[in-house]
Structure 1
Amino acid sequence: MTSRFTFGADEHIFVEVSEEMSLEAFFKTLSMTNAIREAGIDGITEICPANASFQIKFDPDVIHPDDLMTRLQQIEETAAQADPVLNTRIIEIPVYYQDPWTHETLMRFRERHQDPEATDIEYAARINGYDSVQDFIAAHSGAPWFVSMVGFVSGLPFLYQMVDRDRQIQVPKYLRPRTDTPRLTVGYGGCFSCVYSVRGAGGYQMFGVTPMPIYDPTQRTSYLSDFMVFFKPGDIVKWKPVDRAEYDRCLSEVEANTYQPRIRDVQFSLDDFNRDIDGTNAKLMEALYAG
């Protein structure tokens, strides 16, 4: 997997690790951006990782673009030899699937959807071959997900399903984007799930909502006091289906500022995962719910 390096105007270098998303591409992107950050190269002002690529912003008055390009290509050679092991965390995120708020919203925008006669989750279940919405929810929430990047709007995570490629859920975005999406909507587009951190426009299919804030610029939320954005690339997420009563209970704790998400530190090996996907996922679940 050889990366493609290109200049972006006078202050950016864009590095495409792969043309398609995969955990291998994600790990290389993460390894390279971590190595660049640790190198402390004078002149680099920003490092922005994405699903299978990243972009570097730099000051050309501090470092010559050609010199920086050479340093990055040298780092790629070193990063390619690194063990694909990640010390990270696994997080449980409650989801109220088929909630009334996203349902009201999606019904307002049916003329922009591929199937105006079905809800988003009914459509997603059908085109992915599931017999029922409940079977689809079980598939969406049954295996963990990698946070491969954070962005588009502040705090919004893109999540990649940790299953065999032929079991991955795929759903197209709306034919035309909506002008409204409820805050904390759990959405889906292409092969990525996401959580809308703020209310606004969007084109991903809407499956439900979480009561758990993931972005707080005031940093008053207890678990966001250190940093306003909750997710970071490399996090592993387990969706937990909840009913209205459980959603309301979690929301009450959020409003009282006593809610604490379930989080456990874990070590993830890409080689172990590729050898035994379901076995690795089972161990991650054991770590999440141990103790």
Structure 2
Amino acid sequence: MSQQAIRYSFGGDEHLFAEVAESMSLEAFFRGMEMTRVIEEAAIPGVLDICLANASFQVRFNPDLLHPDDLLTQVRSLEETVGGSRRLQTRIVEIPVLYNDPWTHETLMRFRDRHQDPDATDLEYAARINGYQEVQDFIDAHSGTPWFVSMVGFVAGLPFMFQMVDREHQLEVPKYLRPRTDTPKQTLGHGGCFGCIYSVRGAGGYQMFGVTPAPIYDPQQAMPYLQTSMVFFRAGDIVQFKPVDRETYDRILVEVEEGRFNLRIRDVSFDLDEFSADPDAYKQQLQEVLYVD
């Protein structure tokens, strides 16, 4: 079956926006990722930046060097060459998380007037609307499957993540009714079907479930895993959350402060067709790759 044509539109004088699909899916993400790759490889004179998003991408160009219609013609021509690659060489990463931590709890309690359920915590609310009797059951579901990093942005280093499960098992939680003016750094958040990790302290509207001790953005590049880039995550990464207790969290913080903490990272080959055929079995394969010594 042929793929639906990508829908293009211009944003101002310098941007070409491409909508791959109206809703997020791994299929849409893979197609957008392949399109941004072929556009980058084409090295079109006048193209300044190519930005991949969840189910879309955007091209920034210099209109003095490249006429918008000429860019659109070339991008559409490249679209015809894209074969629909469904394999990806990437990496799987373990991210330790202290769920239900005191810092996000203190923060969420300050902003209950902006929440759908002022009488419940974010975790309690998320568990209830997803059909879980206990918060721990929701945490088990949240941390029990890997997540796919579909884009990085909004603020420096912030990853948006899509849970690798059947659509009917997707965890979904609405954002706050009104955004908070404060979110602790490295908070594990969730809005709609997307998870995220707030790379820096600041405003935010996603539900808050916990916090990781692992820096994911650091201009000083103090951690071993940040030596090649101050931004850790990149689109296509696979994330496995690991619940930790307060003692482990505090121990990791000491290692972070001393500049010797390292993440568990493994190279992996991801096959979208194999995953789609049996998500549960493929999840186990990914986890085996992560924890092999």
Q: Same fold (TM over 0.5)?
A: yes
Q: Which of 72, 80, 87 lines up with 1:69 in the alignment? A: 72
Any idea what the Cα deviations from partners look like across 1:6-56, whole Å, max 9, x if unmatched? Answer: 112211100000010000000001010011111111111001110000110
Report the Cα distance in structure 1 between the residues aligned to 2:43 and 2:81, rounded to whole angstroms.
Answer: 16
Report the Cα distance in structure 2 between the residues aligned to 1:146 and 1:256, rounded to whole angstroms.
Answer: 30
- 8 Å contact from structure 2 (residues 34, 85) kept in 1: no
Aligned partner of 1:283 in structure 2 is 285
- 8 Å contact from structure 2 (residues 31, 85) kept in 1: no
Aligned partner of 1:197 in structure 2 is 199
Aligned partner of 2:5 in structure 1 is 2
Aligned partner of 2:271 in structure 1 is 269
Matched, 1:127 2:129: yes
- 8 Å contact from structure 2 (residues 30, 85) kept in 1: no
Report the Cα distance in structure 2 between the residues aligned to 1:152 and 1:83, rounded to whole angstroms.
Answer: 27
5+ unaligned residues in a row in structure 2: which ranges?
none
Report the Cα distance in structure 1 between the residues aligned to 2:124 and 2:252, rounded to whole angstroms.
Answer: 26
Aligned partner of 2:105 in structure 1 is 103
Question: What amino acid sits opposite 1:248 in the alignment?
Answer: D
Report the Cα distance in structure 2 between the residues aligned to 1:264 and 1:201, rounded to whole angstroms.
Answer: 32
After superposition, residues 51-200 of structure 1 pair within 5 angstroms as 51-79=54-82, 81-200=83-202
Q: Tell me the number of residue pairs that the alignment of Structure 1 and Structure 2 aligns.
A: 290
Tell me the TM-score normalised to structure 1 length. Answer: 0.98
The percent identity for this pair of structures is 65
CA RMSD of aligned residues (A): 0.9
Question: What amino acid sits opposite 1:27 in the alignment?
Answer: F
- In the TM superposition, structure 1's runs of 4+ consecutive aligned residues that sit over 3 Å from their partners are none
Report the Cα distance in structure 2 between the residues aligned to 1:245 and 1:220, rounded to whole angstroms.
Answer: 23
Any idea what the Cα deviations from partners look like across 1:216-259, whole Å, max 9, x if unmatched? Answer: 12223332121110000000000000000110111111111111
Aligned partner of 2:220 in structure 1 is 218
Question: What amino acid sits opposite 2:20 in the alignment?
Answer: V
Question: What amino acid sits opposite 1:72 in the alignment?
Answer: V
Report the Cα distance in structure 2 between the residues aligned to 1:152 and 1:176, rounded to whole angstroms.
Answer: 18
Report the Cα distance in structure 2 between the residues aligned to 1:223 and 1:289, rounded to whole angstroms.
Answer: 18
Tell me the TM-score normalised to structure 2 length. Answer: 0.97
Deviation at 1:78, TM superposition (A): 1.6
Report the Cα distance in structure 1 between the residues aligned to 2:158 and 2:54, rounded to whole angstroms.
Answer: 13
Deviation at 1:197, TM superposition (A): 0.4
Any idea what the Cα deviations from partners look like across 1:53-80, whole Å, max 9, x if unmatched? Answer: 011001122222212111111111222x
